[in-house]
């Protein structure tokens, strides 16, 4: 089953937030580095002597260490809110200590804190963001009042309130912006997942198409080939990516189509053991040098045409069978009445017996034709083959007493799975077992029938074996033709219907020559055919 990538939106948004938090941490490291330069570097000459150099130096070193810890914490933490709040508290405390240690740069530190408050608001709910902004305002206001009381700060009070207003306004703005960014990123991620899923579905459809698809560039290199195309190319396409090496005639036709737009619509054979294909060409885009080559398997087209023809023939045969049934019943009833007469000679009674036997045979043909016309479409199920074979034997024995005959099962492994309509498989087995009981016995001996469940080249198979005289070579090639029979009592439709049912389930029915009897092999589609058959139906 196809698995689509459905990543939850909150996980994608959280991944984007972690990335933003990482850059926020890098900015915090930059702030700590600037503070360290203020304490140790030549920047102190530009701003004047630091009032408390030891305090500023200790604050810078502690801030640098805290910034590194916060980056690691934000990367590994399950919740982003906690490291963001902790980091903002560290920023506010550092701003207060740095302003106290170097009052001459108080405005610059307050301005740097403005970015921290705004960045933190991206990650926090609005209430927490406003609370953090208010706390930052209270801290710088308290530091200002402390400095004024000590007689060291000459800034106007309006500047402090401007910073406070900026904190609150920026926190509100960034919080709203952060919400929209997260929603946009989640939507973009979801759209990306949908596009990736659509591309995956398209790729699967192309890969499972019955029509072969090749994507060939201007140099004749095969850029893409689906499973059907690889099967049609056969051994010629193994390990080769140049169309001229895989299929020279196909490459020639493609080049001709590219040159003058003319396409040769006659079928061609890509390999000595491959079916004929009908190539069609198209450009991938209007001005693209890439060309699409579609390879239609003519055998599939023939089977489709045959299916349509047989369906029409089946409807006609059903109508004809209904017309035959009524006079046939009248003939059979008249023969039965004549047999009850006492004036009929022995020779005439023999003639009447032949008439009744042929009426029974004709009625069997009519029933078979009606059954073929009414056959429903296959509804495959995932079945366990050995278990189904055992159930069939039990049901067959209860409906058809074996007397001296025997019907048994043999299997290689206890569990073998296939994909088939169980009703159709039981009909096929009924035809084969009934034929084996009628024709697969030696004169004067009971029938010995075995259902052997095994794998034939990886394909789940059921062999119906008998120990009879076998089938003559001349008759083996005509076994599955409609109305062909070697018995005067047979209808000639049993094996034809059985093979038709097998093919309707993407399987097959073959006669296998074996010494000392006959073998009819039912090839069943395995589990891997499920998706391909479902795609073909769609």
Q: What is the CATH number of the domain that holds 413?
A: 3.30.565.10
- Same-domain pairing of 403 and 353: no
Domain-embedded: residue 3: no
Is residue 62 classed exposed, middle or buried when 0-12, 13-18 and 19+ CB atoms within 10 A define those classes? middle
β-pair partners for 214: 225, 293
Would residue 200 count as lying in a domain?
no
Q: Is the pLDDT of residue 450 over 90?
A: yes
Please tell me whether residues 182 and 99 are part of one structural domain.
Answer: yes
Mean pLDDT, residues 441-455 taken together: 88
d(CA 189, CA 196): 10
Identify whether 358 is part of a domain: yes
3-state SS assignment for residue 67: helix
Could you tell me the residue range of the domain that residue 499 belongs to?
A: 381-537
Residue 84 has pLDDT above 80, yes or no: yes
Q: In this structure, is residue 170 part of a structural domain? A: yes
Instruction: Note every long-range contact of 130-137, with CB atoms under 8 Å and residues 24 or more positions apart, other chains counting.
Output: 130/168, 130/171, 130/172, 132/85, 132/88, 132/92, 132/171, 133/164, 133/167, 133/168, 133/170, 133/171, 134/164, 134/167, 134/168, 135/92, 136/92, 136/95, 136/167, 137/163, 137/164, 137/167, 137/168
517 phi and psi angles, rounded to 5 deg: 145, -160
Alpha-carbon distance of 20 to 499, in angstroms, equals 66
Give Cα separations from 331 to 58, 338, 362, 469, 528 (angstroms). Answer: 119, 11, 11, 36, 52
Question: In terms of domains, do 291 and 426 share one?
Answer: no
Quote the pLDDT of residue 43: 56
Domain end, chosen from 352, 373, 394, is at 373
pLDDT value for 352: 83
% pLDDT > 90, the chain: 6
Residues 309 and 434 grouped into a single domain: no
* Per-residue model confidence (pLDDT) at position 371: 64
For residues 163 and 288, membership in a common domain is answered with no
415 and 502 inside one domain: yes
Average pLDDT over residues 51-58: 77
Question: Does residue 253 share a domain with residue 305?
Answer: no
Mean pLDDT of 190-209: 79
If asked whether residues 504 and 428 sit together in one domain, one would say yes
Helix, strand, coil content of the chain in percent (nearest 5): 60, 15, 25
Count of beta carbons in the 10 Å neighbourhood of residue 184: 12
- Domain end (from 297, 321, 337): 297
103 falls within a domain: yes
| Together in a domain, 336 and 445 | no
Do 145 and 99 share a domain, yes or no? yes
- Is residue 202 domain-resident? no
Task: Report yes or no: 352 and 339 within 8 Å, Cβ to Cβ.
Answer: yes
What's the token pair of residue 242? 């140049």
Tell whether 334 is covered by a domain.
Answer: yes
Q: Max CA-CA distance within the chain? A: 149
The DSSP symbol for 384 reads E
Domain-ending residue, one of 373, 407, 429? 373
Residues 311 and 222 in one domain: no
Average pLDDT over residues 89-97: 85
Count Cα atoms within 13 angstroms, Cβ side, for 9.
10
Is pTM beyond 0.85 here? no
Q: Can you give the CATH number for the domain in which 316 is found?
A: 1.10.287
Total structural domains within the chain: 4
**Which carries the bigger pLDDT value, residue 341 or residue 369?**
341
Pull the structure tokens for residue 502: 């097998």
């Amino acid at each position: 089953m196809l698995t689509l990538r459905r990543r939850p939106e909150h996980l994608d948004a959280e991944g984007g937030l972690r990335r933003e938090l990482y850059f926020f941490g890098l900015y915090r490291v930059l702030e700590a580095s600037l503070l360290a330069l203020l304490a140790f570097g030549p920047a102190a000459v530009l701003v004047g002597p630091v009032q408390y150099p030891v305090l500023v130096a200790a604050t810078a070193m502690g801030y640098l260490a805290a910034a590194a810890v916060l980056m690691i914490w934000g990367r590994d933490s399950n919740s982003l809110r906690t490291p963001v709040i902790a980091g903002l508290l560290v920023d506010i405390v550092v701003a207060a200590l740095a302003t106290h240690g170097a009052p001459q740069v108080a405005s610059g530190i307050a301005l740097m804190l403005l970015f921290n408050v705004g960045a933190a608001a991206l990650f926090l709910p609005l209430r927490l963001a406003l609370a953090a902004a208010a706390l930052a305002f209270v801290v710088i206001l308290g530091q200002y009042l402390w400095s004024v009381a000590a007689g060291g700060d000459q800034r106007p009070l309006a500047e402090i309130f401007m910073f406070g207003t900026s904190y609150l306004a920026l926190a509100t703005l960034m919080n709203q912006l952060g919400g929209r960014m997260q929603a946009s990123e989640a939507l973009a991620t979801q759209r990306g997942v949908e596009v990736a899923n659509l591309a995956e579905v398209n790729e699967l459809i192309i890969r499972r198409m019955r029509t072969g698809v090749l994507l060939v560039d201007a140099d004749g290199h095969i850029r893409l080939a689906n499973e059907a195309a690889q099967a049609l190319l056969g051994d010629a396409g193994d390990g080769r990516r140049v169309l001229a090496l895989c299929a020279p005639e196909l490459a020639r036709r493609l080049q001709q189509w590219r040159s003058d737009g003319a396409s040769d619509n006659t079928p061609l054979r890509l390999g000595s053991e491959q079916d004929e294909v009908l190539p069609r060409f198209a450009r991938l885009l209007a001005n693209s040098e890439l060309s699409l080559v579609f390879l239609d398997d003519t055998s599939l087209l023939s089977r489709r045409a045959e299916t349509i023809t047989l369906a029409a023939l089946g409807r006609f045969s059903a109508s004809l069978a209904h017309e035959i049934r009524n006079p046939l019943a009248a003939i059979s009833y008249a023969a039965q009445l004549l047999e009850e007469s006492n004036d009929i000679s022995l020779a005439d009674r023999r003639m009447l017996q032949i008439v009744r036997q042929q009426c029974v045979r004709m009625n069997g043909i009519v029933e078979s034709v009606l059954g073929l016309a009414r056959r429903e479409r296959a509804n495959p199920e995932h079945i366990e083959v050995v278990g189904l074979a055992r159930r069939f034997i039990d049901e067959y024995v209860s409906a058809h007493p074996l007397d001296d005959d025997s019907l048994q099962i043999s299997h290689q492994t206890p569990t073998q799975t296939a994909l088939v309509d169980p009703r159709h498989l039981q009909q096929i087995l009924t035809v084969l077992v009934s034929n084996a009981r009628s024709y697969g016995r030696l004169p004067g001996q009971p029938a010995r029938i075995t259902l052997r469940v095994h794998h034939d080249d990886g394909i789940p198979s059921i062999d119906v074996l008998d120990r009879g005289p076998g089938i003559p070579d001349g008759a083996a090639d005509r076994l599955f033709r409609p109305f062909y029979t070697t018995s005067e009592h047979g209808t000639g439709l049993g094996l034809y219907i059985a093979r038709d049912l097998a093919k309707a389930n993407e399987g097959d029915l073959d006669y296998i020559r074996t010494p000392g009897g006959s073998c009819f092999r039912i090839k069943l589609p395995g589990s891997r055919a499920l998706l391909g058959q479902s795609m073909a139906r769609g």
